[in-house]
Amino acid sequence: MQLPKEILEIAEGIKNMRIRGAGRIAKAAVQALKITVERSQAKNPEELIKELDYVAKYLLHTRPTAVSLPNGIRFVMYRVKTAFKNGANLEDLKITAIDAADKFIKNSELAIKRIGEIGARRIVSGDTILTHCNSSAAISVIITAFKQGKDIQVYATETRPLFQGRITARTLANAGVPVTLIVDSAVRFFMNEIDKVVVGADAVAANGAVVNKIGTSQIALVAHEARTRMFVAAETYKFSPETMIGELVKIEERSPLEVVDEEFLRQNPNVKIRNPSFDVTPPEYIDLIITEKGVIPPQGAVLVLKEEFGWIIGEELIRGKEVYSTYESCGID
């Protein structure tokens, strides 16, 4: 199937990280589904479903870790497929898909704002905050607290190998927040000055473990040792339903060329390079997860999953992961 240029660009942008960060990836994928409908040549509902299925599966293979991507796709596809099963005609199916995509994107933007408001309540004047990588949700907490007049300062790790921390530092500085950029390995050196760590998430598992940019779990360990609180800011669509049946979140490993250049590789053929993009922070090292619906201890993650995905998941779980592992089987609202 020949995909429209804009969709190929979105998929490529997610793969090469021009579009990055779990929330932005999800919104871009959902936008691609909307474009599919707008450019569709389908002559009947069956053809439209086939086109959407194809694009959905194509997008699912762009980056493996951020659960927001399959969850965003599920949000749209579940509604489209339900309408299809209920006999919707082509025009109604298109409207359903476009409305669902718009709703997901709008909800996602509102969630960031709400996480900012809810999270900012946990920040007090005088706090020094550490953040890692570049998370819209974590930044929303920090900037909201700052705009409320709280006297805070931030340490941002540079986040090797791709330096997303520089984007964070620039964003915070542009908003007027006092910010200091540090190398990743300086975290323990500064931890005694830190009151709270605030990071984002690519996925939250049913047991409350959080998958986020590589280095997060090391920061959590150091925070735990120093009795510094560790907060994770995550929209509810970052919670992974697959983990309810014991699936592990897949950790993406990227090219060695993000770590060293080609010359190094050529000159050192016996040096192996590994470049995992994310790691898993166990729930014991997390004090609070800030969602748009409120704060939960990590142990509350399973309740969020039940609320978001409904008890129907239970039935699908019993039927086994073959059924469940397709995005078709679940409905989130």
Alpha helices in 187-299 (DSSP H): 187-190, 216-225, 262-267
Q: Bridge-partner residues for 106, per DSSP?
A: none
| Nearer to ligand RUB (CB atom), residue 40 or residue 164 | 164
Query: Nearest distance from residue 14's CB to ligand RUB, in Å?
Result: 9
User: What is the total count of residues that contact ligand RUB (CB under 6 A)?
Assistant: 16
User: What letter would DSSP give residue 239?
Assistant: B
| Nearer to ligand RUB (CB atom), residue 80 or residue 143 | 143
- Three-state DSSP state, 318: helix
Verify binding: residue 236, ligand RUB, rule CB under 6 A: no
Binding mask 276-295 for ligand RUB (x = CB under 6 A): -x------------------
User: What letter would DSSP give residue 64?
Assistant: S
Rounded to whole angstroms, the Cα distance separating 311 from 169 reads 42
> Among this protein's residues, is 261 annotated catalytic?
no
User: What letter would DSSP give residue 161?
Assistant: T
Verify binding: residue 20, ligand RUB, rule CB under 6 A: yes
Rounded to whole angstroms, the Cα distance separating 145 from 152 reads 8
Binding mask 170-209 for ligand RUB (x = CB under 6 A): ------------------------------xxx-------
b/e for 236-249, b at 16 or more Cβ within 10 A? bbbbbbbbbeeeeb
Verify binding: residue 62, ligand RUB, rule CB under 6 A: no
Rounded to whole angstroms, the Cα distance separating 53 from 326 reads 11
* Residue, CB closest to ligand RUB: 200
| Nearer to ligand RUB (CB atom), residue 66 or residue 123 | 66
Q: In the block, which residue shows the tokens 């339900």?
A: 82
Q: Which stretch binds ligand RUB (CB under 6 A): 15-23, 40-48, 286-294, 301-309?
A: 15-23
Q: Which stretch binds ligand RUB (CB under 6 A): 14-22, 51-59, 222-230, 267-275?
A: 14-22
**CB 141 within 8 Å of CB 229:** no
Query: Nearest distance from residue 231's CB to ligand RUB, in Å?
Result: 13
Q: Pairing state of beta strands 196-199 and 229-233? A: parallel
Binding mask 106-145 for ligand RUB (x = CB under 6 A): ---------------------------x-xxx--------
Name the catalytic one among 53, 127, 133, 287: 133
Q: Which of 207, 276, 193 is CA-nearest to residue 246?
A: 207
Task: Give 80's contacts (C-beta < 8 A, 6+ positions apart).
Answer: 49, 52, 93, 96, 97, 100
Rounded to whole angstroms, the Cα distance separating 43 from 198 reads 49
Verify binding: residue 212, ligand RUB, rule CB under 6 A: yes
Query: Nearest distance from residue 318's CB to ligand RUB, in Å?
Result: 32
**CB 219 within 8 Å of CB 244:** no
**CA dihedral sign of residues 235, 241, 247, 252:** negative
Verify binding: residue 23, ligand RUB, rule CB under 6 A: yes
| Nearer to ligand RUB (CB atom), residue 212 or residue 291 | 212
Name the catalytic one among 53, 184, 202, 287: 202
> Among this protein's residues, is 202 annotated catalytic?
yes
Quick one: which of 31, 144, 157, 164 contacts ligand RUB (CB under 6 A)? 164
Residues found near ligand RUB in the complex (CB under 6 A): 20-23, 66, 133, 135-137, 164, 200-202, 212-213, 277
Catalytic residue set: 133, 202
